Structure 1
């Protein structure tokens, strides 16, 4: 009985070994196709160029992490998810970077995405859809993430998280103690300095909603004092 059991174990081990050998050597499991999903800015051919080295490689030996790290270096891509589809296909689903604003420093355009990573001189961005920031410090050219500038990061983060940034066309930070903004409805917002940015952002959001829901005719909103924000009506009977 014991010998019979040993024979069965050996036979199963040999079978597993044979299957593993065939999986590792048969052309049937060589990568022959690369598919790309969810790309809008980056061309399929460009993403495939990152992965072409894997063509002909055995799908069981293929290192997904290596390709993912390679693709993630692209300034237009936030993340890439790599999936093996047996027997011979690699599927790449990309999440492209979501740019939220840009600066002009000299001849350079510096873009900030939703992770606050900084990339220089992207050439495939529709500027009309993101906020232009005027008067940015040239030191931004030396960092890779806006989080390195704690005060400015906090300022932009609060505008972004309160969904104010998407309502703006321009932010002027030439004087960091007297920051101004312009909304898509051409309302000029006086923000003051960068202090209390969370409170000020919350005030701006509430007042912009009020302007929209009540159809208030105004072109000026002042939030310099986070405790006493106010707007000035076009037909100025009173301020609010």
Structure 2
């Protein structure tokens, strides 16, 4: 049966539309090849933000994106590579056309140190091990005592399963958030989490009880140490959070 004029025109229109669509696909394909092959979109610059501990060079090396096409980089893989650095907590990656990648990192907050044999290990605010350092760093971080540590395992808690010790550690490490406390405290001892002991750089011992009301107890101890009557003295400060008092006692010397 011969086609009517309307059917023939419809068929021709469909063929034209199909042809145009094919041309568009081919054009887009050629355009994509140009984008992927041209050096115009090769990454030439890597900007690193918010790195205070880890150097820019190390982040750039871990990212390993220079010379790559900006559209072909694997952001997940780059994030994993950078996160291999023990000090890196979070990574955000952003493309900036035509040839720049911006890497924004969040570093772990180092709160203290713990001794392991002849070395020290950085510890974050969650009580996790970060990295071994060969000598006691001059960075005003308190030394953590009263914890038995057998070996270094990155990102593992120094406490283990003792929930009370972990609560005590996390609470007392907040003292490093305050410059006035941080520069005074040499060590913290959590061997008994219900009787936490701080030792100042001047060898004054401070007994603060358990981990509750930590900021209030630290304030009481700080203002007690500022008392001129204690200048040059060593001994023990007992912080009584219940009634807001601090008692100074001369430390008894045991006879050998």
Give the TM-score range, shorter chain: 0.7 to 0.9
More moved, 172-181 vs 30-39: 172-181
Identify which of 172, 177, 198 aligns with 1:159: 172
The runs of at least 4 consecutive aligned structure 1 residues that moved more than 6 Å come to: none
List alignment gaps of at least 5 residues for structure 1.
235-240
Question: Do the aligned partners of 2:121 and 2:129 also contact (CA within 8 Å) in 1?
Answer: yes
Contact 2:62 2:78 in 1 (8 A): yes
SS at match of 1:59: coil
Relative to structure 1, is the Cα distance of residues 125 and 68 closer, same or farther in structure 2, using a 3 angstrom cutoff?
farther
Shift of 1:66: 0.8
- Note if 1:230 corresponds to 2:241: no
- 1:108 maps to 2:108: no
SS of equivalent residue, structure 2 residue 53:
coil
- Cα 1:68–1:46 shift into 2, 3 Å: same
> TM-score, normalized by length of structure 2?
0.70
Of 200, 205, 217, the match for 1:188: 205
The count of corresponding residues between Structure 1 and Structure 2 is 227
Q: Unmatched 5+ residue regions in structure 2?
A: 1-9, 250-256
The secondary structure found in structure 2 opposite 1:171 is: strand
TM-score where L is the length of structure 1? 0.74
Aligned partner of 1:64 in structure 2 is 75
Distance 1:105 1:124 in 2: 11
Computing the radius of gyration from Cα coordinates, the structure with the larger value is 2
2:143 alignment partner in structure 1: 132
Q: Cα RMSD over matched residues? A: 3.5
Contact 1:134 1:173 in 2 (8 A): yes
CA contact 1:220–1:231 (8 Å) conserved in 2: no
Alpha-carbon contact 1:222-1:229 (below 8 Å) kept: no
Q: Is this contact kept in 1: 2:221–2:246, CA < 8 A?
A: no
1:198 corresponds in structure 2 to: 212
d(CA) in 2 for partners of 1:7, 1:184: 82
Residues in 1 aligned to 2:126 and 2:80: alpha-carbon distance in whole angstroms:
17
The answer to whether structure 1 residue 50 and structure 2 residue 66 are counterparts is no
